[in-house]
Amino acid sequence: MLEGTPEARAALLVDPDLQAIRQDAARRAVGAARACEAAIEAAGQNRAAEGSNACTPEALRWTDAERARAAEAIGRIYDRSPAVRRLVAEHMRASGRFQRDASLGDRALTILAWSEAQNNLDRIIRVYALGEQPRYADIDSVIYPVKGRYYQGFLGQLIREVARRANEDQPAYDLARAFALELMDANRRDDAVRQTALQERENAATLSRLSAIRWSDFPYAAILVPGYSPEIAYEPLNPAAKLRLRRGVDLYRAGKAPVIIVSGGTLRPIGTGFNESLEMKRFLVAHYGVPAEAILIDPVARHTTTNMRNAARLIFRIGAPAEMKSLVTGQVSYIGSEVFSARCRRDFGYVPYVLHDRLDFDTFEFTPVLASLHREATDPMDP
């Protein structure tokens, strides 16, 4: 956001503390790159290289002191820059992407958003260069053996590549961000971009239809059917997901809501090419004759928590009345438990829905919570 506004970007580039952090980060990156080159030369000559431990991803991380110093600098930039203050007041708040923290003042909101973004860059490096477990370790971890010879060699090459940017006129965080993005690309962790593009394409016709819907014709805004990941590599759709879809179809045919939301990412087994929500949509159209323009997909969600949160975002997007309830069918015992709401609070800092009546064993009423619009910096796969 800051880089997209010339005045705000300029304020980042001239701040003395951020300049100092950039210079120190550049020196570390260049030093690490030289150590990596020495290690590569030594390996080619079948000898040990002195100082090879300096060829390390740690060189691309900011220190705790640097993150604290940068947060103070952002506070000062907010104070000095009318362009930054306008961004916060007119863009950040209006976007809803910082909704969880909307009760904060503009200055505090800016500092918190900056700090969370910076901490997320560091988390990506820890996960995809140092082997720390991500939130969903079974589906989002490094795809190579982290300590293996190949991956360690690749990291050395990547450190050298990123260090080539050291003298460019870029914001202080540029080297860490470049390293983090390269790591995600190498590990095929581009879901947040690739699946969102799929969502926009697949949902366009449905969103157009719903823009003219008369909501008073229906008792509920939407019917959510959460995904159920396949267990077998060649299986496009888990049989249990098909059973959930039957419940959703029953509700749709009964006229309960004008749209079915199917939610689930490209998850399991590792390396699958099937996206749960897209396969669910195809199944609804092919086997039940549900019109494609009566289905919304959420192809990014990676857990039941984000099934609920992302569906809430879609419900807000279709413009249903704020007080109008929706339905969720399948896995409602888990969704209705304190264990699940506690996990939402742990992962998001809030619960993205309010549950109402349980209509039967499979189905709950719920309304979305506005905080669901908040983009979660700690989960780069599904923010």
- Can you give the CATH number for the domain in which 264 is found? 3.40.50
Q: Which has the closest alpha carbon to 107: 89, 90, 119?
A: 89
Residue 381 resides in a domain: no
Residue 198 resides in a domain: yes
Do 178 and 219 fall within a single domain? no
Q: What is the pLDDT of residue 51?
A: 58
Q: What is the pLDDT of residue 52?
A: 64
Instruction: Show which of 139, 158, 186 is a domain's final residue.
Output: 186
Do 126 and 201 fall within a single domain? no
Residue-wise DSSP of 239-260: HHHHHHHHHHHHHHHTTS-S-E
Chunked into runs of 10 residues, the chain (383 residues) has average pLDDT values of: 92 96 97 93 73 87 96 97 95 95 97 96 96 89 93 96 96 97 94 92 97 97 94 85 96 98 87 90 98 97 95 97 96 93 96 97 97 92 90
Token pair of 119, please?
A: 């901490």
The answer, yes or no, to whether the previous bond of 269 is cis (omega within 30 of 0) is: yes
Do 318 and 342 fall within a single domain? yes
Q: What is the pLDDT of residue 200?
A: 96
Instruction: Show which of 163, 186, 209 is a domain's final residue.
Output: 186
Residue 378 resides in a domain: no
Q: List Cβ neighbours of 94 (8 Å cut-off, separation of 6 or more).
A: none
Q: What is the pLDDT of residue 43?
A: 76
Q: What is the pLDDT of residue 50?
A: 64
Residue 33 resides in a domain: yes
Do 108 and 222 fall within a single domain? no
Do 213 and 347 fall within a single domain? yes
Q: What's the total number of domains in the chain? A: 2
Query: What range does the domain containing 355 cover?
Result: 191-373
CB-count burial class (<10 Å; 0-12, 13-18, 19+) for 22: buried
Do 59 and 109 fall within a single domain? yes
Instruction: Show which of 186, 201, 229 is a domain's final residue.
Output: 186
Q: Are 109 and 101 in contact (CB under 8 A)?
A: yes
Q: What is the pLDDT of residue 231?
A: 82
Q: Are 301 and 267 in contact (CB under 8 A)?
A: no
Do 160 and 275 fall within a single domain? no
Which secondary-structure segment (H or E) carries 353? strand 353-360
Do 271 and 212 fall within a single domain? yes
Residue 383 resides in a domain: no
Residue 321 resides in a domain: yes
Distances (CA, A) of 225 to 242, 284, 354, 373: 10, 11, 17, 20
What is the CA 361 to chain-centroid distance, rounded? 32
Do 259 and 167 fall within a single domain? no
Q: What is the pLDDT of residue 232?
A: 82
Do 92 and 177 fall within a single domain? yes
DSSP β-bridge partners for residue 365: 327
**Cα separation, 58 vs 303, whole angstroms:** 30
Residue 197 resides in a domain: yes
